[in-house]
Amino acid sequence: MGVPTTFVRTTGCHLRCTWCDAAYAFYGGTKRTVEELLADVRERGARDVCFTGGEPLLQKDAWEFIHALLADGRRVLVETSGNIPFRQANALPDAKRALLCISMDVKCPGSGMAERNDLSLLADLRPADQLKFVIADEADYRFAVRVVRERGPFPCPVYFNPVGGVDAKAITEWLLAEASPPEVHVGIQLHKLLWGDVPGR
């Protein structure tokens, strides 16, 4: 957050979270080659690239694109649901792996998709990564705290983000009320605070 970033958003997702803020990415889009996407990223100039969706790892050329970005000297963040393996990331040389952040979601009950989580993937997280919970209500918060306490500690930062991305007051207050709060960050979506919920910003 706070760093100029080029977003590459893919079409298609195998999940249907009740609060999805990118449902427009379920369909449509334009077919592009890895070379075309890389040229577009270069033209935009930012060193950082967020590869998101939909679910980007459903794309057959996803890892080819990720490797091309890393070879081009980019820092890459891949936003992925908590049920698609990303072990290929850990086969990268250390210097390249340090430039790749896997942002793994664990779906809370409010998403309607919690039964699709594959918590075995938590073992594949590395220090460059991040673990994210999108929280709709206190039940989601309690679920996220339980996962963090039972499955942690993790080698990477953990984020509790509010549904909608901007109003983090409730999460903050729930954390502050804990006698021994979990070690997490409260996240927001800065682009929504600046420009609103506008695709392409």
**Residue ranges making up the domain that contains 183:** 5-195
By the 8 A CB rule, do 132 and 117 touch?
no
Place of tokens 């999940």: 15
Band of the pLDDT at 26, cuts 50, 70, 90? confident
In the sheet that 48-52 helps form, which strands lie side by side, from edge to edge?
Answer: 5-9, 48-52, 75-80, 100-105, 130-135, 158-162, 185-186
What's the pLDDT at 130?
98
Convert the pLDDT of each residue in 58-117 to its tens digit.
999 999 999 999 999 999 999 999 899 999 999 999 999 999 999 999 999 999 999 999
Instruction: Say if residue 152 is exposed, middle or buried (CB neighbours under 10 Å; 0-12, 13-18, 19+).
Output: middle
Convert the pLDDT of each residue in 160-178 to its tens digit.
999 988 889 999 999 999 9
What's the pLDDT at 191?
76
By the 8 A CB rule, do 157 and 185 touch?
yes
What's the pLDDT at 200?
62
Rounded to two decimals, what is the model's pTM? 0.93
Counting the structural domains of the chain, the total is: 1
Convert the pLDDT of each residue in 27-50 to its tens digit.
888 999 999 999 999 999 999 999
Any idea what the CATH number is for the domain that residue 17 is in? Answer: 3.20.20.70
Is the pLDDT confidence value at 19 over 70? yes
Residue 50 domain-assigned (yes or no): yes
Residue 201 domain-assigned (yes or no): no
Residue 155 domain-assigned (yes or no): yes
- State percent of the chain over pLDDT 70: 98
Q: Which residues contact 193 (CB under 8 A, 6 or more apart)?
A: 166
Residue 200 domain-assigned (yes or no): no
